[in-house]
Amino acid sequence: MDPSQDRPLAGRRIVLGITGGVAAYKAAELCRELVRRGAFVSPVLSRGAERFIGAATYSAIASEPARTSLWESPEPSPHTDLGQRADLVVVAPATANLLAAARAGSSADLLTTTLLATRAPVLLCPAMHTEMWEHPATRDNVATLQARGVQFVLPESGELAGGDVGAGRLADPMAIADRCVELLAGDGQLAGSTVLVSAGGTREAIDPVRYIGNRSSGRQGHAIALAALARGARVELVTTAPDDPALTGTSITVTPVESAQQMHDAMLERASAADVVVMCAAVADFRPADCADTKLKRRDGLPNIALEPTPNILRALVAARRDGQVVVGFAAETDHLRDNALEKLDGSGADLIVANDVSRADAGFEHATNAVTIHRASAPADPRARR
């Protein structure tokens, strides 16, 4: 087995902040898992956290003794030392008070000063009672921090302290550890690059209520965007499914669209700044030539809906491609997969076509898994034209 797969965080320094919530005991499991995956973990406990779990617990399972104070540390400036050495700062659980302090830029204790003193990615994992999590002030704090680039693993719904059930339970420690790996393990492979991705199935309006669409959920395009982000890219996503929880808390720039024309305009507007363009969306090939102003009624009989072609976004992107830019297309097919994919590759001029058999019962549209075949264009005569 490749050691990097078993210890994907080897050589990485993670500051693990623990705040004063009952979920502080779960952070011990997270700490152990991060260490198991190879990370050097420096635990920092707030005074509130010490009311729920002792610092000695974290000192025993982390990579160095737990810290609890600005004033009881071997370094003269422990917050700057921790912040500058960290590859990632994780706070789990992050209480409502911590979210408010982080937004305000508070420096009341070692943990909040470390958050101010680091330039490493910050991952906050909120946990609190449902009423607190759903309070407008908390939601506003989260939105502001997300806009600043802070990452989040949002809380789950389930049984809470006191026996209540609702949203606010700390996410599973394994899921938080996985997010740490996503943020750090692939870091640098696409650093400095911009990746533009389209996702989801377009909707072509028949009237204000009905539309022509397809079964695409956008999940595949969103997964590609997240994978590019994990490898250090700046990612822009044009999608018909902007409310996907998987995107929440990331620094991905999301542009919501609905129709093929809207996606065409959004992709062309952003493509010139991208190093890689991934046209993953399932775009309708046809749309109604005219959209009714009011809802069509059954009593009026079968409507005569004339169709017209939608813009070919992939061809437009290829036509506008700048030197060195890579353009990737997708072909969702139900039969003759290879022939249809190669025809699209030749006809579009894309660098790659990802052929996706959507007739399968175990993969494709509306599935969490997929199976594809990737076809590559022949290398151009001028090697500077593509890379």
Q: Which residues are catalytic?
A: 214
Rounded Cα gap, residues 277 and 195, in angstroms: 6
| Integer Cα distance of 274 and 150 in angstroms | 23
DSSP secondary structure letter of residue 95: -
Supply angle C-alpha 243, 246, 250, rounded to 5.
Answer: 95
Q: Whose structure tokens read 């160095």?
A: 64
What single string gives the DSSP state of each residue in 109-139?
SHHHHHHHH--S-EEEEE---HHHHTSHHHH
* 126-160 b/e (C-beta count within 10 Å ≥ 16 → b): bbbbbebbeeeebeebbeebbeeebbbbebeeeeb
- DSSP letter (8 states) at residue 184: H
Which CA distances in Å does 345 have to 167, 191, 258, 281, 371?
A: 46, 28, 25, 16, 18
Q: Distance (Å, rounded) from C-alpha 108 to C-alpha 125? A: 20
Q: Which residues contact 380 (CB under 8 A, 6 or more apart)?
A: 386
CA distance 11 to 3: 13
Q: Are 239 and 199 in contact (CB under 8 A)?
A: yes
- Mark out the alpha helices in 320-364 (DSSP H runs): 337-348
* 97-124 residues labelled b (16+ CB within 10 A) or e (exposed): bbbebbbeebbebbbbbbbebbebbbbb
| Residue 234 to residue 260: CA distance in whole angstroms | 24
Tokens of 209: 């209520």
Q: Are 90 and 125 in contact (CB under 8 A)?
A: yes
DSSP string, 244-283: -GGGTTS--EEEE--SHHHHHHHHHHHHTT-SEEEE--B-
